[in-house]
Amino acid sequence: MSGRVYIFLGPPGGGKGTQAKKLSEEFSLPHIVMGDILRNVVRTGSDVGKLAEEYLERGLLVPDDLTIDLARERLKRDDCKEGFILDGFPRTINQAEELEILLKDLAHSLERIIYIWIPLEVALLRLSERRSCRECGAVYHLKFNPPQGDVCEKCGGELYQRHDDKEEIVKERFLVYERETKPLIDYYKTKGKLLFIEGKNGIQEIFENILSSLSGSEPRPARPAGG
């Protein structure tokens, strides 16, 4: 096998992005964020970008054919040859099946699926105070990880609240997660590679939990789907 692949799975607001980034630094593997890839396509203003925007704005999943093409193109790049950490992909069974084919082509091994679960109330609290950088995508939380000033500490970019972090859209994203992404838990459970991680804890505690679960010889038993 030429590379190692880890997938972060779970509802919005569980901290997938934060934890995936930390793991990517720990393992020196690229952090591939499907939401950022799609937001970048939207920014181009192309027809494809306009199409993707309609879904992102409403908290719905972008159609599989487009998402899978974009993922495939990104994961075949040179920086991914030692493997990668996936954040936000796959989100449907169809995407998971396509990913499996791609991993076979690339001769990568799927090491673990890290499933971070939180209830809707916690997601709403977290996402309503989340601020993102328009330039580099860095993420802050007004209470738990506040920026030093009004702009991004890393690049000086403008901080803003994502449109889809507003309450009614977060609720929609949660429903979409329940309907379309949660079936992946059973899909991966049968492959015996799913780790269940409690997402209500603090950032460092969650990360230590992930590292210790990953270093254990056996994955932690996954709780029933839905937590």
- SS3 label, residue 13: coil
CB of 218 to ligand AMP, least distance (A): 28
Q: Of 30 and 90, which has the nearer Cβ to ligand AMP?
A: 90
Within 161-190, which residues bind ligand AMP (CB under 6 A)? Answer: 164, 173
Look-up: residue for tokens 């030429």? Answer: 2
The 45-74 site mask, x for binding ligand AMP (CB under 6 A), equals ----------xx--xxxx----x-------
What is the spatial distance between Cα 65 and Cα 70, in angstroms, rounded to a whole number? 9
Tokens of 156: 């000086």
Name 132's bridge partners: 139, 160
Q: Which helix (H) or strand (E) holds 83?
A: strand 83-87
* Consecutive H or E run containing 195: strand 194-198
- Least CB distance to ligand AMP at residue 162 (A): 8
Tell me: does residue 89 bind ligand AMP (CB under 6 A): yes
Active site residue 134: no
Q: Which of 131, 173, 182, 189 is catalytic?
A: 173
The yes or no reply on residue 194 touching ligand AMP (CB under 6 A) is no
Given 130, 131, 182, 189, the catalytic residue: 130
Tell me, yes or no, if 162 is annotated catalytic.
Answer: yes
Query: Exposed/middle/buried for 36, CB within 10 Å: 0-12, 13-18, 19+?
Result: middle
Catalytic residue among 58, 74, 162, 171: 162
Rounded Cα distance between 167 and 48, Å, is: 27
Is 77 an active-site residue? no
Cβ proximity to ligand AMP, 54 vs 208, nearer residue: 54
* Piece of 84-92, 114-122, 152-160, 202-210 that binds ligand AMP (CB under 6 A): 84-92
**Active-site annotation holds for 223:** no
Size of the site for ligand AMP (CB under 6 A): 18
For residues 17 and 193, give the distance between their C-alpha atoms in angstroms, rounded to a whole number. 20
Instruction: Judge residue 199's burial from the number of C-beta atoms within 10 Å of its C-beta, 0-12 exposed, 13-18 middle, 19 or more buried.
Output: buried
130 catalytic residue (yes or no) = yes
Contacting ligand AMP within 98-157 (CB under 6 A): none
Q: How far apart are CA 181 and CA 89, in angstroms?
A: 10
35 belongs to the binding site for ligand AMP (CB under 6 A):
yes
Asked if residue 115 lies in contact with residue 129, where contact means CB atoms within 8 angstroms, the answer is: no
Active-site positions read 16, 91, 130, 162, 173
Interface positions with ligand AMP (CB under 6 A) = 12, 34-35, 38, 55-56, 59-62, 67, 88-91, 95, 164, 173
